[in-house]
Structure 1
Protein backbone atom coordinates (compact mmCIF):
# COMPACT_ATOMS: atom_id res chain seq x y z
CA UNK A 1 0.00 0.00 0.00
CA UNK A 2 1.48 3.43 -0.93
CA UNK A 3 2.11 6.00 1.82
CA UNK A 4 -0.91 8.16 2.66
CA UNK A 5 -1.38 11.44 0.83
CA UNK A 6 -1.53 14.66 2.91
CA UNK A 7 -5.34 14.46 2.81
CA UNK A 8 -5.39 10.97 4.34
CA UNK A 9 -5.18 10.23 8.03
CA UNK A 10 -2.03 8.39 9.13
CA UNK A 11 -3.68 6.65 12.08
CA UNK A 12 -6.42 4.05 12.29
CA UNK A 13 -8.79 6.18 14.38
CA UNK A 14 -11.34 8.44 12.70
CA UNK A 15 -10.21 12.06 12.63
CA UNK A 16 -12.23 14.39 14.83
CA UNK A 17 -13.00 18.08 14.49
CA UNK A 18 -11.33 18.60 11.13
CA UNK A 19 -13.25 19.75 8.11
CA UNK A 20 -12.95 17.62 5.02
CA UNK A 21 -11.17 19.17 2.06
CA UNK A 22 -12.89 19.38 -1.32
CA UNK A 23 -10.31 16.82 -2.50
CA UNK A 24 -11.42 14.22 0.05
CA UNK A 25 -15.08 15.00 -0.65
CA UNK A 26 -14.40 14.27 -4.32
CA UNK A 27 -12.75 10.97 -3.41
CA UNK A 28 -15.76 10.03 -1.29
CA UNK A 29 -18.20 10.87 -4.07
CA UNK A 30 -16.11 9.04 -6.68
CA UNK A 31 -15.72 5.94 -4.55
CA UNK A 32 -19.44 5.90 -3.86
CA UNK A 33 -20.24 6.17 -7.57
CA UNK A 34 -17.78 3.33 -8.24
CA UNK A 35 -19.77 1.15 -5.84
CA UNK A 36 -17.59 1.15 -2.73
CA UNK A 37 -19.41 0.63 0.55
CA UNK A 38 -19.66 3.37 3.19
CA UNK A 39 -17.51 1.34 5.57
CA UNK A 40 -14.80 0.84 2.96
CA UNK A 41 -14.72 4.55 2.15
CA UNK A 42 -14.68 5.49 5.84
CA UNK A 43 -11.84 3.10 6.66
CA UNK A 44 -9.76 4.20 3.65
CA UNK A 45 -9.96 7.90 4.57
CA UNK A 46 -9.82 7.42 8.34
CA UNK A 47 -13.18 9.07 8.95
CA UNK A 48 -16.41 7.84 10.50
CA UNK A 49 -19.12 6.13 8.49
CA UNK A 50 -21.61 8.85 9.51
CA UNK A 51 -19.25 11.50 8.04
CA UNK A 52 -19.27 9.63 4.74
CA UNK A 53 -23.08 9.42 4.84
CA UNK A 54 -23.42 13.13 5.62
CA UNK A 55 -20.90 14.08 2.92
CA UNK A 56 -22.83 12.13 0.30
CA UNK A 57 -26.15 13.58 1.52
CA UNK A 58 -24.82 17.17 1.29
CA UNK A 59 -23.06 16.65 -2.03
CA UNK A 60 -25.95 18.09 -4.07
CA UNK A 61 -25.94 21.30 -2.01
CA UNK A 62 -22.22 21.94 -2.38
CA UNK A 63 -20.61 24.09 -5.05
CA UNK A 64 -17.34 22.53 -6.27
CA UNK A 65 -17.08 20.56 -3.02
CA UNK A 66 -16.89 23.70 -0.86
CA UNK A 67 -18.32 23.81 2.65
CA UNK A 68 -21.97 24.72 3.02
CA UNK A 69 -22.32 27.74 5.32
CA UNK A 70 -24.22 27.03 8.53
CA UNK A 71 -26.51 29.70 9.94
CA UNK A 72 -25.58 29.32 13.60
CA UNK A 73 -27.45 30.60 16.60
CA UNK A 74 -29.33 33.89 16.18
CA UNK A 75 -27.98 36.86 18.09
CA UNK A 76 -29.73 37.76 21.33
CA UNK A 77 -29.02 41.44 20.67
CA UNK A 78 -30.69 43.03 17.64
CA UNK A 79 -29.41 45.99 15.67
CA UNK A 80 -31.77 48.31 17.58
CA UNK A 81 -30.47 46.93 20.88
CA UNK A 82 -26.87 47.51 19.79
CA UNK A 83 -27.67 51.11 18.83
CA UNK A 84 -29.26 51.61 22.27
CA UNK A 85 -26.16 50.17 23.94
CA UNK A 86 -23.84 52.48 21.99
CA UNK A 87 -26.05 55.48 22.77
CA UNK A 88 -25.88 54.57 26.48
CA UNK A 89 -22.08 54.31 26.21
CA UNK A 90 -21.87 57.74 24.66
CA UNK A 91 -24.07 59.23 27.42
CA UNK A 92 -22.08 57.55 30.18
CA UNK A 93 -18.75 56.10 29.07
CA UNK A 94 -18.00 54.76 32.56
CA UNK A 95 -21.20 52.65 32.82
CA UNK A 96 -20.84 48.98 33.67
CA UNK A 97 -22.51 46.28 31.57
CA UNK A 98 -25.11 45.84 34.30
CA UNK A 99 -25.86 49.61 34.29
CA UNK A 100 -26.19 49.51 30.49
CA UNK A 101 -28.52 46.51 30.67
CA UNK A 102 -30.75 48.28 33.20
CA UNK A 103 -30.68 51.63 31.35
CA UNK A 104 -31.59 50.11 28.00
CA UNK A 105 -33.97 47.44 29.29
CA UNK A 106 -32.31 44.75 27.15
CA UNK A 107 -33.08 41.17 28.15
CA UNK A 108 -29.57 39.73 27.79
CA UNK A 109 -26.76 38.74 30.13
CA UNK A 110 -23.98 41.14 31.04
CA UNK A 111 -21.53 38.92 29.19
CA UNK A 112 -23.62 39.10 25.99
CA UNK A 113 -23.71 42.89 26.29
CA UNK A 114 -19.94 42.93 26.86
CA UNK A 115 -19.32 40.85 23.71
CA UNK A 116 -21.57 43.18 21.69
CA UNK A 117 -19.74 46.26 22.97
CA UNK A 118 -16.37 44.76 22.07
CA UNK A 119 -17.65 43.63 18.67
CA UNK A 120 -18.78 47.24 18.05
CA UNK A 121 -15.16 48.34 18.51
CA UNK A 122 -15.13 49.57 22.12
CA UNK A 123 -12.54 48.73 24.80
CA UNK A 124 -12.50 49.34 28.54
CA UNK A 125 -9.53 51.64 29.24
CA UNK A 126 -8.80 53.94 32.16
CA UNK A 127 -12.19 53.18 33.77
CA UNK A 128 -14.28 54.08 30.73
CA UNK A 129 -15.40 52.72 27.37
CA UNK A 130 -13.49 54.12 24.39
CA UNK A 131 -13.40 53.27 20.71
CA UNK A 132 -10.56 50.84 20.00
CA UNK A 133 -8.62 53.41 17.94
CA UNK A 134 -9.29 56.36 20.31
CA UNK A 135 -7.55 57.11 23.60
CA UNK A 136 -9.39 57.93 26.83
CA UNK A 137 -9.69 61.56 27.83
CA UNK A 138 -6.87 62.64 30.09
CA UNK A 139 -7.80 63.57 33.66
CA UNK A 140 -6.70 67.01 34.71
Structure 2
Protein backbone atom coordinates (compact mmCIF):
# COMPACT_ATOMS: atom_id res chain seq x y z
CA UNK A 1 0.00 0.00 0.00
CA UNK A 2 1.41 3.40 -1.03
CA UNK A 3 2.12 5.93 1.64
CA UNK A 4 0.66 9.38 1.60
CA UNK A 5 3.61 11.63 0.59
CA UNK A 6 3.34 13.36 3.96
CA UNK A 7 4.03 10.01 5.64
CA UNK A 8 7.15 9.28 3.57
CA UNK A 9 10.42 10.10 5.39
CA UNK A 10 12.27 10.50 2.08
CA UNK A 11 9.67 12.86 0.66
CA UNK A 12 9.67 14.97 3.82
CA UNK A 13 13.49 15.00 3.93
CA UNK A 14 13.49 16.20 0.32
CA UNK A 15 11.20 19.12 1.15
CA UNK A 16 13.06 20.04 4.35
CA UNK A 17 16.36 19.93 2.44
CA UNK A 18 15.02 22.23 -0.28
CA UNK A 19 13.74 24.76 2.27
CA UNK A 20 17.01 24.66 4.19
CA UNK A 21 19.10 25.01 1.02
CA UNK A 22 17.09 28.07 -0.03
CA UNK A 23 17.73 29.64 3.36
CA UNK A 24 21.46 28.87 3.16
CA UNK A 25 21.68 30.22 -0.40
CA UNK A 26 20.03 33.46 0.71
CA UNK A 27 22.50 33.80 3.60
CA UNK A 28 25.49 33.22 1.30
CA UNK A 29 24.40 35.44 -1.60
CA UNK A 30 25.76 38.66 -0.04
CA UNK A 31 29.15 36.92 0.26
CA UNK A 32 29.07 35.86 -3.41
CA UNK A 33 29.31 32.16 -2.50
CA UNK A 34 27.27 29.19 -3.58
CA UNK A 35 26.51 26.54 -1.00
CA UNK A 36 29.14 24.14 -2.36
CA UNK A 37 31.72 26.94 -2.58
CA UNK A 38 31.02 27.70 1.07
CA UNK A 39 31.41 24.05 2.10
CA UNK A 40 34.73 23.68 0.30
CA UNK A 41 36.08 27.05 1.46
CA UNK A 42 35.06 26.38 5.07
CA UNK A 43 36.48 22.85 4.94
CA UNK A 44 39.79 24.08 3.54
CA UNK A 45 39.92 26.90 6.10
CA UNK A 46 39.15 24.45 8.94
CA UNK A 47 41.89 22.07 7.81
CA UNK A 48 44.32 24.99 7.42
CA UNK A 49 43.62 26.16 10.99
CA UNK A 50 44.71 22.72 12.18
CA UNK A 51 48.08 23.25 10.52
CA UNK A 52 47.32 21.03 7.56
CA UNK A 53 47.71 22.28 3.99
CA UNK A 54 45.26 19.73 2.55
CA UNK A 55 45.24 18.44 -0.97
CA UNK A 56 42.08 18.40 -3.07
CA UNK A 57 41.34 14.74 -2.24
CA UNK A 58 41.51 15.44 1.50
CA UNK A 59 39.11 18.37 1.15
CA UNK A 60 36.71 16.30 -0.99
CA UNK A 61 36.70 13.47 1.53
CA UNK A 62 36.19 15.80 4.49
CA UNK A 63 33.36 17.63 2.70
CA UNK A 64 31.79 14.47 1.24
CA UNK A 65 31.97 15.85 -2.30
CA UNK A 66 32.91 14.36 -5.65
CA UNK A 67 36.64 14.76 -6.36
CA UNK A 68 36.24 16.10 -9.92
CA UNK A 69 33.53 18.57 -8.91
CA UNK A 70 35.67 19.61 -5.93
CA UNK A 71 38.56 20.44 -8.25
CA UNK A 72 36.29 22.57 -10.46
CA UNK A 73 34.84 24.49 -7.51
CA UNK A 74 38.29 25.01 -5.97
CA UNK A 75 39.41 26.57 -9.25
CA UNK A 76 36.50 29.03 -8.94
CA UNK A 77 37.50 29.82 -5.35
CA UNK A 78 41.05 30.39 -6.58
CA UNK A 79 39.75 32.75 -9.30
CA UNK A 80 37.98 34.71 -6.53
CA UNK A 81 41.32 34.91 -4.64
CA UNK A 82 39.86 32.99 -1.71
CA UNK A 83 42.29 30.07 -1.91
CA UNK A 84 45.67 29.32 -3.43
CA UNK A 85 46.48 25.98 -5.03
CA UNK A 86 50.13 24.97 -5.11
CA UNK A 87 51.80 21.88 -6.54
CA UNK A 88 52.61 19.41 -3.77
CA UNK A 89 56.39 18.97 -3.56
CA UNK A 90 55.94 15.33 -2.51
CA UNK A 91 53.48 14.50 -5.31
CA UNK A 92 53.52 16.81 -8.33
CA UNK A 93 50.13 15.45 -9.45
CA UNK A 94 48.49 16.81 -6.30
CA UNK A 95 47.62 20.38 -5.34
CA UNK A 96 48.00 21.69 -1.80
CA UNK A 97 45.43 24.25 -0.72
CA UNK A 98 45.80 27.35 1.39
CA UNK A 99 43.06 29.84 2.18
CA UNK A 100 44.18 33.40 1.51
CA UNK A 101 43.85 36.11 4.17
CA UNK A 102 40.80 37.43 2.30
CA UNK A 103 39.47 33.87 1.99
CA UNK A 104 39.81 33.33 5.74
CA UNK A 105 37.81 36.50 6.41
CA UNK A 106 35.09 35.42 3.96
CA UNK A 107 35.07 31.86 5.38
CA UNK A 108 34.57 33.14 8.93
CA UNK A 109 31.81 35.53 7.87
CA UNK A 110 30.13 32.74 5.88
CA UNK A 111 30.35 30.29 8.78
CA UNK A 112 28.72 32.87 11.05
CA UNK A 113 25.95 33.45 8.49
CA UNK A 114 25.34 29.73 7.99
CA UNK A 115 25.33 29.01 11.72
CA UNK A 116 22.80 31.82 12.26
CA UNK A 117 20.66 30.43 9.43
CA UNK A 118 20.85 26.94 10.92
CA UNK A 119 19.91 28.28 14.35
CA UNK A 120 16.88 30.09 12.92
CA UNK A 121 15.84 27.16 10.72
CA UNK A 122 16.26 24.36 13.26
CA UNK A 123 15.68 26.48 16.35
CA UNK A 124 11.94 26.01 16.09
CA UNK A 125 12.34 22.32 16.95
CA UNK A 126 11.57 21.38 20.55
CA UNK A 127 14.83 19.38 20.79
CA UNK A 128 17.39 20.13 18.04
CA UNK A 129 19.80 17.69 19.71
CA UNK A 130 17.36 14.86 18.99
CA UNK A 131 17.54 15.74 15.28
CA UNK A 132 21.34 15.55 15.39
CA UNK A 133 21.13 12.15 17.07
CA UNK A 134 18.85 10.91 14.28
CA UNK A 135 20.93 12.40 11.44
CA UNK A 136 24.38 11.23 12.53
CA UNK A 137 23.85 7.52 11.71
CA UNK A 138 22.20 8.44 8.41
CA UNK A 139 25.08 10.72 7.38
CA UNK A 140 27.40 7.75 7.10
Structure of greater Rg? 1
If the length of structure 1 is used for normalisation, what is the TM-score?
0.30
Q: TM-score, normalised by structure 2?
A: 0.30
